[in-house]
């Protein structure tokens, strides 16, 4: 069985879950998603039963109150519990039961913005986790969650913190260590409409700057990471304009379409026609991912526009395929130069053709 190379942090909503359901059999074992569950999510165990063989998600139920819904051993599907350093004793005991039920181990999630203790206090916290769950360090994957990295200033602040945490992690026998960050802007409502707007993938640039550490890569898919103490899924839901967040090498192309009056089907078909004619449409076209196939069908008016749930699913499907292709292709271990955005550190959206910069 192939080892996972990519750990996306996703909400447990239908759009992102549909993208996981449609991963092909070759890609599924390479993805180890972390699913954040909120009290509004329902029917998740049944949806997880639809995931392709070889894909075993980690599930974060820290937002749920103690009770049967938060006891993963009752779900009846193989998952890994996600354990936070602040979990109470009862929650840790339940996670230990789930680990023994599924014999999969666990993911320990260390949030850079929240778990700001020194190395000794952090060691004490993870030792408590191991003791209360009955797990050994080598049964646990460490997820260092850097949260929101949306500009050059965020990158400069997050990198030294994460490097110190990875240095601390090397003192323990973790099964794997992954660093994840989110780079999607929390709101797209200020971006222009009816033409693609490029925004930088700061999370990808952040991951490239850490390649010398030998850690795994994670991100928040095409969704923004929650700032501060906000939970995933509680950020601004956005407007109802037909929207596709299309992943390219170092940026996203944001398509928000309002032209052609009020008919959603025609507006979305026009959006998709612009996308499939763009230089960032992959050479493999519809064969690149399930999401690309669905977008091409809409460009050809084979079927209707779908809904915001569908737009998220298709965008996420393409994103997963794009990141996997980048992670499993030839590796460039050169440390990248200063990121784009200018000396003031602010990202500026770019319209039209690809944005180029030189060192």
Domain CATH for 17: 3.20.20
Residue 262, pLDDT > 70, answer: no
Residue 351, pLDDT > 70, answer: no
Lowest mean pLDDT among 56-65, 167-176, 327-336, 341-350: 341-350
Hey, what are 50's tokens? Answer: 């639809």
User: Is 344 a domain residue?
Assistant: no
pLDDT at 338: 44
User: Is 263 a domain residue?
Assistant: yes
User: Is 18 a domain residue?
Assistant: yes
User: Is 135 a domain residue?
Assistant: yes
104 burial class (0-12, 13-18, 19+ CB within 10 angstroms)?
middle
User: Is 76 a domain residue?
Assistant: yes
Tens digit of each residue's pLDDT (9 = 90 or more) over 331-342: 443 444 444 343
Number of domains in the chain: 1
Residue-range definition of the domain harbouring residue 33: 9-328
> Is the model's pTM score more than 0.75?
yes
Question: What would the mean pLDDT of 224-232 be, rounded to a whole number?
Answer: 63
Hey, what are 127's tokens? Answer: 């030792």
User: Is 133 a domain residue?
Assistant: yes
Average pLDDT value for the chain: 86
Higher pLDDT, 356 or 57: 57
User: Is 343 a domain residue?
Assistant: no
Rg (CA), the chain: 20
pLDDT at 286: 95
User: Is 60 a domain residue?
Assistant: yes
Q: Which has the closest alpha carbon to 32: 8, 53, 50, 60?
A: 8
Tens digit of each residue's pLDDT (9 = 90 or more) over 5-61: 999 999 988 999 999 999 999 999 999 999 999 888 777 888 888 999 889 999 999
Q: Which residues contact 246 (CB under 8 A, 6 or more apart)?
A: 196, 252, 253, 254, 255, 275, 280, 315, 318
pLDDT at 44: 84
Rounded distance between C-alpha atoms, residue 93 and residue 90, angstroms: 5
Question: What would the mean pLDDT of 141-158 be, rounded to a whole number?
Answer: 95
Tens digit of each residue's pLDDT (9 = 90 or more) over 76-97: 889 999 999 999 999 999 999 9
């Amino acid at each position: 069985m192939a080892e996972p190379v990519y750990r996306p942090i996703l909400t447990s909503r239908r759009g992102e879950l549909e993208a996981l359901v449609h991963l092909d059999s070759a890609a599924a074992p390479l993805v180890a998603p972390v699913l954040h569950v909120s009290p509004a999510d329902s029917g998740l165990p049944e949806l997880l039963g639809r995931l392709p063989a070889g894909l075993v998600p980690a599930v974060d139920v820290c937002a749920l109150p103690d009770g049967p819904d938060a006891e993963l051993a009752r779900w009846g599907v193989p998952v890994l519990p996600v354990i936070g350093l602040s979990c109470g004793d009862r929650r840790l005991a339940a996670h230990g039961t789930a680990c023994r039920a599924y014999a999969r181990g666990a993911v320990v999630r260390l949030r850079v913005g929240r778990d700001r203790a020194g190395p000794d206090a952090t060691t004490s916290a993870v030792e408590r986790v191991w003791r209360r769950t009955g797990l050994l360090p080598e049964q646990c994957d460490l997820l260092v969650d850097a949260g929101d990295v949306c500009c050059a200033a965020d990158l400069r602040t997050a990198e030294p913190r994460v490097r110190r945490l990875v240095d601390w992690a090397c003192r323990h026998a973790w099964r794997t260590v992954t660093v994840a960050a989110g780079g999607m802007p929390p709101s797209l409502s200020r971006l222009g409409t009816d033409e693609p707007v490029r925004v930088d993938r700061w999370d990808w640039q952040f991951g490239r700057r850490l390649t010398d550490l030998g850690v795994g890569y994670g991100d928040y898919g095409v969704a923004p990471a929650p700032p501060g103490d906000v939970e995933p899924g509680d950020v601004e839901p956005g407007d109802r304009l037909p929207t596709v967040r299309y992943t390219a090498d170092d940026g996203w192309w944001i398509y928000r379409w309002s032209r052609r009056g009020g008919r959603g089907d025609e507006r979305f078909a026009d959006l998709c026609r612009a996308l499939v004619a763009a230089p960032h449409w992959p050479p493999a076209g519809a064969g690149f991912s399930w999401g690309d196939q669905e977008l091409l069908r809409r460009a050809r008016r084979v079927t209707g526009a779908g809904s915001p749930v569908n737009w998220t699913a298709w965008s996420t499907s393409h994103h997963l395929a794009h990141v996997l292709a980048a992670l499993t292709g030839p590796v460039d271990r050169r440390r990248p130069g200063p990121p784009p955005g200018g000396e003031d550190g602010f990202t500026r959206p770019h319209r039209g053709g690809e944005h180029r910069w030189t060192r």
